[in-house]
Amino acid sequence: MILENLRIALSAVRGNAMRSILTTLGIIIGVAAVIAVVSIVQGLNFLISSRLQGVGVTFIRVEARPDPFDPDLAGREVTLTYEDGLAVMDKVPTLRYFNPLFFRSERAGYGDRSLTVFLMGVGPYYQELNNHWVERGRFFSQLDLDRHAHVCMIGTSVIEELRLDSNPIGREITVGGGTFTVVGVMEKQGEVFGRDNDKLVLIPITTARDLYGERSFRQILLEFQAKTPEVVELAKDQITDVLRARHGLPEGTKNDFWVALQSELLETTGSILGTITWVIGAVVGIALVVGGIGIMNIMLVSVTERTREIGVRKAMGARRGDILVQFLIEAITLSLLGGIVGVLLGWGLGILGAKAIPGFPAAHVPLWAVGLGFGFAGLVGVISGTYPAYKAATLDPIDALRYE
């Protein structure tokens, strides 16, 4: 019976192809929008997650968190300094590596050529903490930091745009107000959101502080790596205790810094992107409602057009339930066909949208999003088809046979 009703439903769709397309247009647009948005957001989430997972579960980040609305912090300068990081490493035995991170946009030049680069002042363990390694040459040593050496690491795009030799090691470039000797080239990272991550220059953190002054170093990022995954939570608590003592925070007051583990960074990112997905999904869900209204209207028209057919079927012994199932299956079939087209269209739009943005990660469509699209379409079909099917099932067979 179900297969026969499905055959009848597909015949009705083929017989009124243009009407069926226009009827399901709302479903197609709604499902396509949901799939396109989810694919783009999930592609971004996949990229961020893979990068955070690349630094490992022992990764810990500390950043300053000023709160102007907190009376305990109001009126005081919130700081997070290189010395804070050194004190943490000295007093927290559960940590293996420490990397201070200072960054700013700066001009780099070689000869008569120049470009804007992302300048970072870092420590000798930048590679281990950020999973970003030297491709050629060497990285900084602690001796470079102690001597405040004017040496630098550069990204591959700096070599290309400044037209340095294929082997730039030993060349001198200008960055900001200083001259630096290139001692290494970092491995290629590529583009994200149109930003070239290889327009990068790394210099020792102590040299950066000499160039830009103590005032610029009042709030920097501190990165740590715990010795083992088992001691990460303990390390976080110990870091908090050391920094609270150094910042003179009385008991009961909030921290003026944030200590985040890799898992917390992943959770925060996932939460933000998930909220964006659901908000946009709810907005485009209006199209599904419109599509449902369209299906309900066309099914009511179909019931009216086929009143005599319904009367004949009832006269031949069809029960109310048979008629109800017939028209309900037709509504669901119409809706699911719109869902299929919407999923394929949304998938294609997501791929094209991701490629249209330079450096944007590839679209990623999880199976749950496809299931969600079909689920929405099927639900709309059930809801919008129930009343027309009930109306058809309750028609009086004598009146239906007499209908002109």
Extract the tokens encoding 138: 């060497």
Q: Does any domain span residue 56?
A: no
CA distance to 46, 102, 107, 209, 341, per residue, from 213 (Å): 38, 12, 18, 5, 60
Q: Are residues 166 and 290 in the same domain?
A: no
Best-predicted range by mean pLDDT among 45-49, 129-133, 328-332, 384-388? 129-133
Q: Are residues 150 and 196 in the same domain?
A: yes
Under 8 Å between Cβ of 188 and 121: no
- Once rounded to an integer, what is the mean pLDDT over residues 33-52? 71
Domain around 190? 66-255
Q: Does any domain span residue 309?
A: yes
Burial string for 248-275 (b: 16+ CB within 10 Å, else e) reads ebeeeeebbbebbbbeebbeebeeebee
Query: What is the structure's pLDDT at 75?
Result: 62
Q: What are phi and psi of 207, to 5 degrees?
A: -70, -40
Render pLDDT for 308-322 as a digit per residue (tens, 0 to 9).
666 676 676 667 676
Query: What is the structure's pLDDT at 285?
Result: 67
Q: How far is the C-alpha of 299 from the C-alpha of 310, rounded, in Å?
A: 14
Under 8 Å between Cβ of 115 and 254: no
Radius of gyration (C-alpha) of the chain in whole angstroms: 32
Q: How far is the C-alpha of 79 from the C-alpha of 220, rounded, in Å?
A: 8
Query: What is the structure's pLDDT at 280?
Result: 67
Q: How many domains does the chain have?
A: 2
> pLDDT: is 40 or 87 the higher one?
87
Which H or E run contains 362?
A: none
Render pLDDT for 177-217 as a digit per residue (tens, 0 to 9).
899 999 999 999 877 666 788 999 999 999 999 999 888 88
Q: Give the residues across from 105 on adjacent strands.
A: 118
Q: Are residues 218 and 174 in the same domain?
A: yes
Q: Does any domain span residue 39?
A: yes
Q: What are phi and psi of 331, to 5 degrees?
A: -65, -45
Q: Does any domain span residue 58?
A: no
Q: Does any domain span residue 267?
A: no
> pLDDT: is 190 or 170 the higher one?
170
The residue from 215, 230, 255 where one domain ends is 255
Q: Are residues 149 and 298 in the same domain?
A: no
The residue from 205, 220, 255 where one domain ends is 255
Which H or E run contains 143?
A: helix 142-146
The pTM score is 0.64
Query: What is the structure's pLDDT at 262?
Result: 75
Q: Are residues 168 and 314 in the same domain?
A: no
